């Protein structure tokens, strides 16, 4: 009985957190609609950090991006504010920096004249840190919607560079094609498998996998929104917010466990 009450309390807290997120979203969306962005090129050294940036850089993800950028180039530009402060693309910038330090020849080929492609958002992140955070999250979630033919083209370039289309977990030292594509285009390995399959027939299994993918997308969105709520809450917390924060943390851990389990099962295909 106690567990039921605990779960009900946790769900109630999540609902309150969701309501707060929606209110914040409406305010930020109204601001975002007025912001224009334009493509540009900037020297790598001119792309600056934000004072309020709290993102953690994952070395393994940076290494994956170093390999993909070296082979395919920068497929998604970095996003900066009008002062050149980075809004989205911290892992990509880290990868580019390492390429410049360790392989200047490739860097010069990929980024002539030391210029990196960016999209400039027409606002100052230091003057509006909440909007900067919202743009950071939304931009990092966005991925270009690659067509199956484009994915196959990317796959061929990776194969030419030594990646192999293997099933299951790759052996030590082996560069697996499908996990690399998962990082590059932001699609699940199941989706990538279907894209690489030239058979046009759609089976019942495909439909079931699509349903699982939709659920996975929804879970990732939930995790993102809950994480954003935690990061955007001003310190110090009130007693009520502290209690909500604990419940939200529990929900995030549950979502992470489900996503980790699904990713593990996907690797077995």
The C-alpha atoms of residue 44 and residue 152 are separated, in whole angstroms, by 31
194-197: which pairs have CB atoms within 8 A and are 24 or more residues apart? Answer: 194/148, 195/148, 195/151, 195/152, 196/151, 196/152, 196/155, 196/165
Which H or E element spans position 82? none
pTM score, two decimals?
0.61
Closest CA to 228 of 165, 140, 145: 140
Answer positive or negative: Cα dihedral of 106, 112, 118, 123: positive
- Residue 54 inside a domain? The answer is no
Per this entry, what is the length of the chain?
269
Which candidate, 136, 110, 148, places its Cα nearest to that of 224?
136
Whether 55 is covered by a domain: the verdict is no
Residue 13 inside a domain? The answer is: yes
Q: Is residue 212 part of a domain?
A: yes
The pLDDT of residue 41: 95
The torsion region of residue 48 among left (phi > 0), alpha (psi -120 to 50) and beta comes to beta
pLDDT value at residue 28: 52
Tokens describing residue 186 = 């932001």
In a domain, 222, yes or no: yes
81 three-class SS: coil
Full pLDDT tens readout for the chain, 269 residues: 445 555 566 666 666 666 665 555 555 554 554 456 688 999 999 999 988 766 778 899 899 899 999 999 999 999 999 999 999 999 999 999 999 999 999 999 999 999 999 999 989 999 988 888 878 877 766 666 788 888 899 899 999 988 888 776 767 777 888 888 887 887 777 788 888 875 544 444 454 555 666 677 778 878 887 887 777 776 777 888 888 888 888 888 888 888 887 766 655 54
Question: Which domain, by its residues, includes 245?
Answer: 1-34+201-269
Q: Determine the pLDDT at residue 265.
A: 63
Number of H helices, E strands in the chain: 10, 4
73, 51 contact by CB (below 8 A): no
Number of domains observed in the structure of the chain: 1
With beta carbons less than 8 A apart as the criterion, state whether 33 and 65 touch. no
In a domain, 210, yes or no: yes
């Amino acid at each position: 009985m106690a567990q039921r009450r605990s779960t009900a309390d946790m769900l109630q807290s999540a609902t309150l957190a969701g309501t707060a997120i929606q209110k914040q979203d409406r305010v930020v969306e109204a601001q975002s609609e007025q912001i224009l962005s334009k493509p540009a090129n900037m020297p790598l050294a001119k792309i600056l950090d934000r004072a309020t940036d709290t993102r953690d850089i994952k070395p393994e993800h940076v290494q994956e991006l170093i390999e993909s950028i070296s082979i395919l180039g920068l497929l998604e530009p970095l996003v900066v504010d009008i002062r050149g402060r980075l809004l989205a693309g911290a892992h990509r910038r880290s990868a580019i920096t390492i390429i410049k330090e360790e392989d200047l020849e490739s860097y010069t080929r990929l980024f002539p004249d030391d210029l990196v492609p960016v999209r400039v958002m027409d606002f100052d992140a230091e003057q509006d840190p909440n909007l900067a955070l919202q743009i950071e999250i939304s931009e990092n979630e966005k991925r270009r919607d690659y067509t199956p033919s484009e994915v196959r083209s990317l796959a061929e370039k990776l194969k030419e560079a030594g990646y192999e289309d293997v099933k299951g977990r790759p052996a030590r030292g082996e560069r697996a094609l499908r996990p690399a594509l998962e990082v590059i285009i932001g699609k699940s390995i199941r989706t990538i498998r279907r894209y690489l399959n030239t058979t046009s027939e759609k089976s019942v299994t495909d439909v079931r996998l699509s349903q699982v993918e939709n659920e996975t997308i929804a879970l990732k969105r939930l995790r993102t929104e809950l994480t954003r709520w935690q990061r955007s809450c001003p310190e110090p917390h009130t007693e009520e917010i502290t209690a909500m924060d604990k419940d939200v943390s529990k929900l995030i851990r549950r979502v992470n466990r489900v996503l980790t389990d699904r990713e593990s099962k996907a690797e077995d295909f």
